[in-house]
Amino acid sequence: MDCIFCKIAKNEIDATVIYEDNEVVAFDDLHPQAPQHKLIIPRKHITTLNDLTTEDESLVGHIYTVAKQLAAELGIDESGYRVVMNCNAGAGQTVFHIHAHLLGGRAMTWPPG
């Protein structure tokens, strides 16, 4: 499999990793859309949200718990932050390995686009 996020999770490609455990890895987005823009990926390859199973429920919950923890560590928990997961190209997914975008450090507008 030639998945860039799988390679990051396996330390085969360098990334600015800010958090990792047995289930997920978090790192800086290469093209940040906010002063703080981190990606949180599962080590398990899951192509899109449409490919989730009930077995993945705790993993997805863990991604959001890590997002909360990182927001606090980055000092954006009180001012506000956004956690986004895109599904398929029409929604903006460009890497087909599920991932959450943690964005903060500026005011977010709505609708997002």
Instruction: Find the catalytic residue in 37, 45, 97, 99.
Output: 99
62 given a catalytic annotation: no
CA distance 29 to 79: 20
CA distance 39 to 32: 10
Q: List, in order, residues 6 or more apart from 8 with CB less than 8 Å away.
A: 15, 17, 25, 27, 41
- Which are the catalytic amino acids? 99
